[in-house]
Chain A
């Protein structure tokens, strides 16, 4: 399996100047809107604490709440399936569709199905999957995964979308008016809603006491996806559970404020039971979550409500784009989740961070994201997954810096510092420092030399 090279991928993203400028500004704008919302609610920090506590409680009693959810969903007339991993999930979906002769699946946004690579599984088996969320549809038509968990096509300019739609939907390639493009997607998606044999949603929250699946959207496509076809499927990661309906308010107040800087999404749908004469299925998916729950340092990441606030605030994400992470989840939350799927493949990701810490501060459920990034680096080093050049460099640096004599030899003589320094301080990855930056000039003396000349060994002022 090829390792992800985030630095290499980001350099391609950065070369497209219009794109990176727009991407950075657009996401920073979302961050600022989120800031304004946070300033408008005096109880903001309390809500974060409460949301975190509810999630911690739920995760530490997860088996009980999952079973309670299952019982209540069954009571509502829903069939509940359990999927240990992506393969079981995809097979379950396929079997449901296949046995009922459904050839088309209209679906709303779901990062879980991205994680399971469900479309890639169903396509070759004769099932056409239609993404109905505008951003997801753009990405599907362009044969790219979503680059952001909330705004999947945020790395594209409207002219890019016009080109994709012209190629795939037959729109006017010269017309990049957003209303025209959105309307074109709407008109071409509608027939699928009416014709599809099955509809699918993800979940923002699953309420144990009612067996309800709650979906927050701004386009109404989730409702159409599930209210029209006769077969309805909801795929839910097991960490989406919350105990009671009264807890939902805390999360509804936080989700869209953090995601888009709006007080609430246009639509908050509670799906409870199948319509008369139709059937509804819920698939509860583990796919590595139980294992993550058992990781002392990392289980906190399961509190995530997928608002994307950490991505919008992340200066690295804004300047490298979601696709540069080469994983379903990108940005700060991605770099602490992805290594649980495949440590070797995603070993570079926890290093795609300056450890600035703003992600932890914006997180509505108080995940200590930057501290987990720091800890992942240790895990990666201890399990031998650091690049050799870095590991050897750190060994050398550790030896030099642990010895006053070697350290002074390395930086001591004027004019020679720079030949030695990059080896252990700045580090030479094909002389990366100097590519776009000037190298600092080595002064005639080090501080220590100045000190000895001006204060002497006894530290007395001369």
Chain B
């Protein structure tokens, strides 16, 4: 199995520890992981702003970096969503469609492809609020959405449940959008910040010490909100918890 690691630009720049945890976790599970050194970004920032023309060269670079792998794994739901559903600014050659088809967000890769359910090295003795970003929730369908009736399920929760000592708390609106939204966070700053404040208050009121998430961009925003508000909340990516981080 040829597995490539895609570390999104904002993780590369701001949260290298999330990339490290993702790589180490995949290695721990016995995979040989390749990190193509010329990778940059999936082109989502341009495409979500309507700028397809401006996204094309970055998308082409992405495909050059990641062609020929059986799986491309990334610790980001929204990047996976972009690659899978929206990487359309360049001609759809068989190479491009294969890259799009073979890209997986870390949790779905662990849960669906590898079928991992045990993380015996992991222990996280904290009260945890789980934040599943909207792309991960609705585009990747990793958990039941509150607006659609049916049996509850959650892939991130299923994986985290195998972690020793973890205790979940449930906010009043578990799948309300936190207001990051890419460039929305700056062009619609007033609403974005208000949504972020509401989100971190909701988690804090539920008794969370940590917010654990497969989506670091949401976390970057929520962390910034919590810090500004002075809320005693800590943030950590699900890859770090599954890789055995204790705090």
Among B16, B40, B50: residue with most chain A CB under 10 A:
B50
Our pick among A319, A358, A386, A447 for the contact of B7 (Cβ within 8 Å) is: A447
In the assembled complex, the CB of A368 is this many whole angstroms from the nearest CB of chain B, namely 12
Binding stretch for chain B, among A169-177, A260-268, A272-280, A433-441: A433-441
Q: Is the CB of A320 within 8 A of B189?
A: no
A341 interfacial contact with B, CB 8 Å? no
Q: Which residues of A are found within 8 Å of B197, using beta-carbon distances?
A: 436
Binding stretch for chain A, among B57-65, B104-112, B158-166: B57-65
A39 interfacial contact with B, CB 8 Å? yes
Chain A at the B interface: SS class: helix
A24 to B134, CA, bound (A): 19
Number of B interface residues, CB 8 Å?
78
Instruction: Kindly identify, within residues 151 to 200 of chain B, every residue whose CB is under 8 Å from any CB belonging to chain A.
Output: 173, 176-177, 179-198
Instruction: Kindly identify, within residues 348 to 364 of chain A, every residue whose CB is under 8 Å from any CB belonging to chain B.
Output: 350-358, 361-362
A104 to B60, CA, bound (A): 64
A451 interfacial contact with B, CB 8 Å? yes
A357 to B190, CA, bound (A): 20
A353 to B50, CA, bound (A): 13
In the assembled complex, the CB of B27 is this many whole angstroms from the nearest CB of chain A, namely 7
Our pick among B186, B191, B194, B224 for the contact of A427 (Cβ within 8 Å) is: B186
Q: Which residues of A are found within 8 Å of B52, using beta-carbon distances?
A: 378, 381-382
In the assembled complex, the CB of A369 is this many whole angstroms from the nearest CB of chain B, namely 12
Known: A404-B40, A439-B224. A358 touches B177 (CB 8 A): yes
Q: Is the CB of B187 within 8 A of A315?
A: no
A305 to B57, CA, bound (A): 41
A224 interfacial contact with B, CB 8 Å? no
Our pick among A313, A398, A461 for the contact of B147 (Cβ within 8 Å) is: A313
Of all chain A residues, which has the CB nearest B10? A425
B241 interfacial contact with A, CB 8 Å? no
Our pick among B46, B181, B224 for the contact of A440 (Cβ within 8 Å) is: B224
Q: Which residues of B are found within 8 Å of A395, using beta-carbon distances?
A: 51, 54
Known: A404-B39, A437-B224. A374 touches B54 (CB 8 A): no
Q: Is the CB of A28 within 8 A of B186?
A: no
Q: Is the CB of A432 within 8 A of B224?
A: no
Known: A35-B147, A448-B12. A352 touches B188 (CB 8 A): yes
Our pick among B19, B58, B185 for the contact of A426 (Cβ within 8 Å) is: B185
Q: Is the CB of B134 within 8 A of A354?
A: yes
- B residues neighboring A (CB under 8 Å): 7, 9-17, 19-20, 23, 27, 33-35, 37-41, 43, 45-46, 48-58, 60-61, 86, 134-135, 138-139, 145-149, 173, 176-177, 179-198, 220-221, 223-225, 227-228
Given contacts A350-B50, A394-B45, A401-B41, 16 further A-B contacts (CB under 8 A): A38-B148, A351-B187, A351-B188, A358-B134, A381-B50, A390-B49, A390-B183, A403-B40, A407-B9, A407-B41, A426-B186, A428-B186, A438-B223, A447-B19, A451-B35, A461-B27
